[in-house]
Amino acid sequence: MKSGTEDFFKLKMSVCPACSSKKINPWLIKPKEEIKFSLWRCSSCNTGFMNPQPTKEYLDSIYYKSGHGLTEPIPFEEVIKGETEYPNATVDAKRLVERAKIFMVSMDGLKALDIGSGYGFFTNAAIKAGFEVSAVNPGKWENEIFEKLNGFSPATHFFEEVDFGPEKFDLVILSQVLEHVEDPMSFLVKIKIQFKENGIIAVAVPNVDSILVKLLKSKDNSCLWVPEHLTYFSKRGLIAILNRAGFIIKDHMYISRIPYNVLSKRMTLTNIPRRIVNAMVKNLQKLPLGIINGLGFGFIHNIWAQVAE
């Protein structure tokens, strides 16, 4: 498909998807293969977004396989081995879930909904924290890993396609999902319907104001990952959209982490030397990344919000 053709791109947006401001302007051009994606930015809340977006049909064709950008199925053992050497999803999952519990009004009969559940590490953390968990995820390859990890399968659909009926949840986990959504405001409004009174939403999304985006600009592929990522949230934009959808912010933090094994992989180390170098990378990054987080330039937003009465 070629850039600019009607069968690939939708119509351009006229307002910011986060704060609904009309003060939006072209920002960056990000090419991928033969397609050039136009990224815009809001001068009111600083959120970025792809404008225009690819069609829903094209995006669906990607996510029915995987939300991790996989081009083929991945063995369960490989996923577990990678997470064991470099604890990433398990660490993020424990933090999102356990901090959400701090804001819970009641601890009776806790139920959680994991949207875009991926390999299942967040569901696993919620189960360990005492929640009965439902999960929904369109990626069939990820769901195979999920089932082996948790003993049940997610609904292999997009959240918007699922009718939960009268079932309500104390916690909704939304990790690395909202940036993929075509209409994040409508998405959050639909989520709100599924909450029990005083329910908590726990969200993780990339930070458009991160040091990586500032340094690399259009070459950044963590936050500005095209065509999968459609909205690039600032802190102000993330708070604005949650408030607009009917949530009260409870807490926010920046999370930054460099894979501990990035250097040992490049050096092709094994066994004890690999573990030593991994430990060095883990510990040496704490101070500089802590400073980056303190300045608001962290890699990832974590935010917790409660349903407004």
> Mind spelling out the 3-state secondary structure of 25-82?
EEEEEEEECCEEEEEEEECCCCCEEECCCECHHHHHHHHCCCCCCCCCCCCHHHHHHH
Q: How far apart are CA 63 and CA 116, in angstroms?
A: 10
Please give the mean pLDDT across all residues of the chain.
Answer: 94
CB 28, CB 214: distance < 8 Å: no
Output the CA–CA distances (angstroms, integers) from residue 180 to 68, 118, 248, 290, in the order listed. Answer: 11, 13, 23, 27
The CATH classification number of 56-255+299-307 equals 3.40.50.150
**Tokens standing for residue 145:** 């890993």
Give every CB contact of residue 53 below 8 A, 6+ residues apart in sequence.
Answer: 9, 10, 13, 59, 182, 230
Is 159 a residue whose pLDDT tops 80? yes
Beta strands in 116-244 (DSSP E): 132-136, 169-175, 195-206, 231-232
Closest C-alpha among 195, 144, 153 to residue 174? 195
Helix H or strand E segment including 126 = helix 121-128
7 pLDDT tier (thresholds 50, 70, 90): confident
Range from 4-8, 39-43, 139-143, 184-188 carrying the lowest mean pLDDT: 4-8
- pLDDT in the model for residue 1: 40
- For the segment 139-158, what is each residue's pLDDT rounded down to a tens digit? 889 999 999 999 999 999 99
- pLDDT in the model for residue 132: 98
Domain residue spans of the chain:
56-255+299-307
CA 117 to chain centre: 10
Give the whole-number percent of the chain exceeding pLDDT 90: 87
- Any idea what the Cα angle at residue 307 is, between residues 303 and 308, rounded to 5°? 115
